[in-house]
Amino acid sequence: MRKQEEPYLTGNLTAMIDVVFQLIIFFVCTVSMQEAPMDQLLQLSDAPHGEEVRIKDPREVTIDVDRNGRMSIARTPLSQEMMKVILKKTVADSGGPDNVPIVLRGDASVLHEKIQPALDACSEVGIIKVKFAAMKERASK
């Protein structure tokens, strides 16, 4: 008795490979969009005894102030007047200044006088609660 050969499954795998590549591209794009665009050149001060933030508020506005005193939101450089306009619109859209959590990330080497315009912009639109970001602990290299 002759052993019966099993038929080979054949088919065009091109469509499946295309779908796999599209899924890879989709996941790479969505992962990079989930990360907040923060200025990686900003060196935050150390605060080893500070409270660690585990859950981030999605309404949170992060203002960066680099070592030269340049202010930015989401890597977009802004003047103090533009910052006021953006914050005023954010306050109006969110229903009041108490609904806009502000996090100020200042470079460790920046002078307080360079951070003051960002604080002034917040207070002029009614925002009086501002959190300052710092590093809990440095990653070892």
Residues 82-97: what's their mean pLDDT?
Answer: 90
Instruction: Please report the DSSP string for 81-109 in residue order.
Output: HHHHHHHHHHHHHHTSGGG--EEEEE-TT
Q: Per residue in 59-71, pLDDT tens?
A: 888 898 888 888 9
Band (pLDDT 50/70/90 cuts) for residue 110 is confident
Q: Per residue in 20-47, pLDDT tens?
A: 888 888 887 776 554 445 555 666 776 6
Cβ neighbours of residue 105 closer than 8 Å, sequence gap 6 or more:
38, 39, 42, 44, 62, 63, 64, 65, 132, 133
How is residue 25 annotated by DSSP? H
Residue 140 pLDDT greater than 60, yes or no: no
Q: What pTM does this model have?
A: 0.63
Alpha-carbon distance of 20 to 114, in angstroms, equals 49
Torsion sign across C-alpha atoms 53, 56, 59, 62: positive
As a whole-number percent, the residues of the chain with pLDDT over 70 amount to 76
CATH for 37-141 is 3.30.420.270
Give the pLDDT confidence score for residue 116 in this predicted structure: 92
What are the sequence ranges of the domains in the chain?
Answer: 37-141
